[in-house]
A and B are shown apart, each in its own frame.
Chain A
Amino acid sequence: MKKFLLFLAVTAILLTGCGDKEKSTVTVTSPKITLGSMITTEPIVKKIKEKLVASGFNAETVLFDANNAAAIACKDGDLTAFVHNHKPWIDTFNKEKSANLTVVEPFIFYYRFAIYSAKHTSLDALPDGATIVVPNDPTNLDMSLRFLSSLGFLKLGEKRENFYTMLDIKENIKNIKFFETDVATVARNMSEVDAVISSAIRVKQAGFDPAKFLVEDTTSKTFAVGLSLKMDSVKDAWVKVANDYVQSNEFKTWFADEYKGALALY
């Protein structure tokens, strides 16, 4: 029992130690601007930080490794702004956590979702009975099927549940043969089949050129990403500086060169 109490005390001390440290770097009363990101978007916030520092602001970047961590930190006021989650995600986050985060327009980029092929160079070249790999999780499968339907490759019936599934294909006009695989492995199979439906970033990770897609899903522009912050800080002086910067040709040229099509400029 004594040992257990001692253990508790030590843990408590250690934990408070950690907490203090974090706070000292994040919430300082001076108007320090902290910009959060995930590993993919880190170069973007670093670039914005450089610009802000050059313009005389006190700015720094923080790297997060969980999808919702930056949003939570921003909501709690520990983080000034972040670039990572897309607009629909932020909207849902606001609703579920009763937060008031907003994505500043104009947006910076969006996650491209497209048809890629290592064998064919155009959509028309896809043969009848083409083999296509699609992600097998419901959200991505739903998106892929609606995408193919918008291209006229198949006809979908009425959606009977939350997501479109293989069951809702009423007419397979192009006689597509589907392979459903884990979303992370879809792009890896590019040389095995006629085409894959994947996000550009996964295509890049699989070692293919993310800019060489046959056609991109027009709805992927809905998943726009930009500088996300609390509604009340939208009017802050630095936001305008940052915003002007991400719209500049200098930034856009850098972005295209950095991501090479894995993320698409909005």
Chain B
Amino acid sequence: MTENFELWADYTEKIIIPSIGATLRMTFFSMFFACIFGIILAIFLVLYGPHCNLNPKPKTYKVLDFFVNMIRSFPIIILIVAISPLTKILVGTTLGEKAAIFPLTIAAIPFIARVIENALNEVDKQLIEVGKSFGASNLQIIMLYMIKEAVPAITAGITLCSINFLTATTLAGAVGAGGLGAVALNYGYQSFNNFILYFTVLIILVLVEILQISGNLVYKKLK
């Protein structure tokens, strides 16, 4: 019994705790970069899109729309492998956490952009008219009126996206990035160790709950 306990302690200390760190780092950094680029992309989608009548450019919008859909259609594990030459050039390595963060970010950008675009499109059209009547430029309208109005919806969208990509990081074990998914798969499932498997799943569940609850709190504050 004591020996078993030691083994579990060992597992927790050397395998599980570092992998929680790896999962959180990967989620945080990929979300951070994806939010920056996602917002920029969303602004262009709204600016050129047909919904808000700001500066509709159907052709440009179609191209952007196509790329957003294309990247979103890649299963993440395939994206990680498919863009590995690009990862090598930009990140300098195809191994480890950094190498996983890049494809995760690439996958998250269109997702976040789409979520924010939808949030912005939901903004009352009269607000846009008001902005126009004040002589505000399109960019000012988006930045000062629409985003401000859409912040709660954007927060909810980013929460949704973060949870999505928290679970997506579990695939990053394939490129040596570690993380809870790799532990559940290799030390749990493949080693016939159900305790590790379900314990890891439980940790992921807790992380998801924390994200959702804090997302909800922020949403309530902003609403």
Contact = CB atoms under 8 A, between A and B. Distances in A.
Interface of A: 133, 136-138, 141, 160-163, 165-167, 179-182, 185, 188-189, 192-193
Nearest to A163: B191
8 A-B pairs closest in CB distance: A181-B176, A179-B176, A182-B174, A138-B191, A192-B95, A136-B186, A189-B95, A167-B10
A133 B176 contact: yes
Main secondary structure of the interface of B (DSSP, over half): helix
A167 B11 contact: yes
A167 B19 CA distance: 14
Nearest to A142: B191
Interface string B179-210: 00010001100111100000000000000000
B131 interface: no
Contacts of A165: 15, 187, 191
Nearest to A178: B176
A154 B193 CA distance: 25
A141 B187 CA distance: 11
Contacts of B178: 180
A181 B128 CA distance: 51
Contact of A179 (B15, B84, B96, B192): B96
Nearest to A168: B10
B14 interface: yes
B186 A180 contact: yes
Nearest to B186: A136
Given A162-B191, A189-B176, A192-B94, 13 more contacts: A137-B186, A137-B190, A138-B186, A166-B15, A167-B7, A167-B14, A180-B173, A181-B176, A182-B175, A185-B176, A188-B84, A189-B95, A193-B95
B93 interface: yes
Contacts of A181: 95, 173-176
B9 to A, nearest CB: 10
Contacts, number: 60
B83 to A, nearest CB: 14
Contact of B95 (A138, A141, A162, A179): A179
Contacts of B192: 162
5 contacts: A141-B186, A160-B3, A180-B182, A189-B94, A192-B93
B10 A138 contact: no
A243 to B, nearest CB: 37
A133 B95 contact: yes
Residue of B14, B84, B95 with most partner-chain A CB within 10 A: B95
Given A136-B182, A165-B187, A180-B186, A188 B14 contact: no
A160 B93 contact: no
Contact of A166 (B14, B81, B93, B193): B14
A137 B193 CA distance: 13
B173 to A, nearest CB: 6
A133 B93 CA distance: 13
Nearest to B80: A185
A161 B8 CA distance: 12
Contacts of B190: 137-138
Interface in B1-53: 3, 7, 10-11, 14-15
Interface string B160-176: 00000000000001111
A40 B193 CA distance: 33
Nearest to B81: A185
